[in-house]
Amino acid sequence: MGSQSSGPLRSVMALAVAGSVYRSARTVARTRAVVPLAPAASDTPLPPPVTIVVPARDEAGVLHECLKGLRAQTHPGTLRIVLVDDGSTDGTGDIGRAHAAVDPRVRVVRVEGPPPGWAGKVHAMHVGIERAGAADAGEWLLFVDADTVLEPELLGRLIATAESVDADLVSTPGGPPAGHSASWPLLMPAGLQMIGENASPDGRGRKAFAIGHCLALRRSYYEKIGGWRALASMRNEDVAIATAVRDHGGTTRLVDGVDHVTTSGMDPFVQGWASFRKSFVAGAGGSAPVLLAGGLGQIALSLAPPVATLAGLRGRHPALAAVGLAGWAAQGVAHARTAKLMRADSRVAPLAPLTGALFGGVLLDGAARVVRGTVRWKGRRTTS
């Protein structure tokens, strides 16, 4: 009787492992769709002008390095840099004004939070474009997080990459800073896998994948989609604007510029956890049931391979053990590929089932906070 009842259970475990293998294979395939960073164009007769917008709320600890990197860009086109101080209570505005005092390309704009119906970051970026001035012919827009630092050649190479693949929007994630936290090897691979299941790096999926650390798009497409005003309430604004560009006939690409972009927004570990939690709460539309189901599903699919392996070994079912080991190996490969993309330590790849289950905890934490009404970011509630 026990043997008969264990048969369906083994089938369920095998199916769960098959789902895990499918996810892993899909993740590996999607990492291959990321476009390498091209060299900067050296023969462009009229390099495009670029308006750079940096939304910043209480970023005094990191803003100087961000602005210093932007001012050092070697792109030969005209640059305008607009820092939007979004109701900061630290020295964010003072740091911006110090840069503006020595560089006429830098302008500081102060806003006191978003009006009703707007997400804070989206409103800040909207104001930045509005205050930058009239559009120039062939202009590109670049949105950079205040905790992100660009190496001098990044902007020129990013635009050259966009031109080489005929893209209208490109973005690149930032890589880890020196002395980074465990959020990079433990959270980043599973986080990218889950985002990539709903958004594609080449824009061909249900949504277009983009990362807001460093996002560039043609101003013509920004205006074509209605600008940030059309996405006023969106809190996963990077994927939202990429998807809008794609849906209006544009081409979007995720670019590997990680060696030339650094972000401190994932450190320390608790900050990385909170950052991913914010993104997935936004992606779930603030729905606790969706977050709960996603978190439990993530944990189940992550742990299915080792559970099947152990069950097969203990029950002397070699086929089940083999299936479990194959699923475990597939998870390790997917973890290693995403870790490599983000320049994170891939040595924990054999622990991919555990790191995947850990990430399920991010979603469960998000669900609990939605229920309690304590979802906040930068001191503001992020769900209505």
Dig out the tokens for 29 from the structure: 């395939």
Which pLDDT score is estimated for 44? 74
Which pLDDT score is estimated for 3? 52
pLDDT (mean) for 188-212: 94
At 29-53, the pLDDT tens digits run 999 999 999 999 877 778 999 999 9
Higher per-residue confidence, 4 vs 358: 358
Check the CA dihedral 270-382-122-230 and report its sign.
Answer: positive
Nearest alpha-carbon partner for 195 in 238, 232, 162: 238
Distance CA 67, CA 335 (A): 33
Share of the chain above pLDDT 90, in %: 91
Mean pLDDT of the chain: 95
Distance CA 174, CA 65 (A): 14
Check the CA dihedral 89-95-98-103 and report its sign.
Answer: negative
Q: Answer yes or no: is pLDDT of 380 > 90.
A: no
Which pLDDT score is estimated for 10? 87
The model's confidence at residue 1, banded by pLDDT at 50, 70 and 90, is very low
Nearest alpha-carbon partner for 105 in 54, 161, 168: 54
Nearest alpha-carbon partner for 368 in 262, 270, 265, 296: 296
Please give the model's pTM, rounded to 2 decimal places. 0.94
The model's confidence at residue 383, banded by pLDDT at 50, 70 and 90, is low
At 153-175, the pLDDT tens digits run 999 999 999 999 999 999 999 99
Q: Answer yes or no: is pLDDT of 6 > 90.
A: no
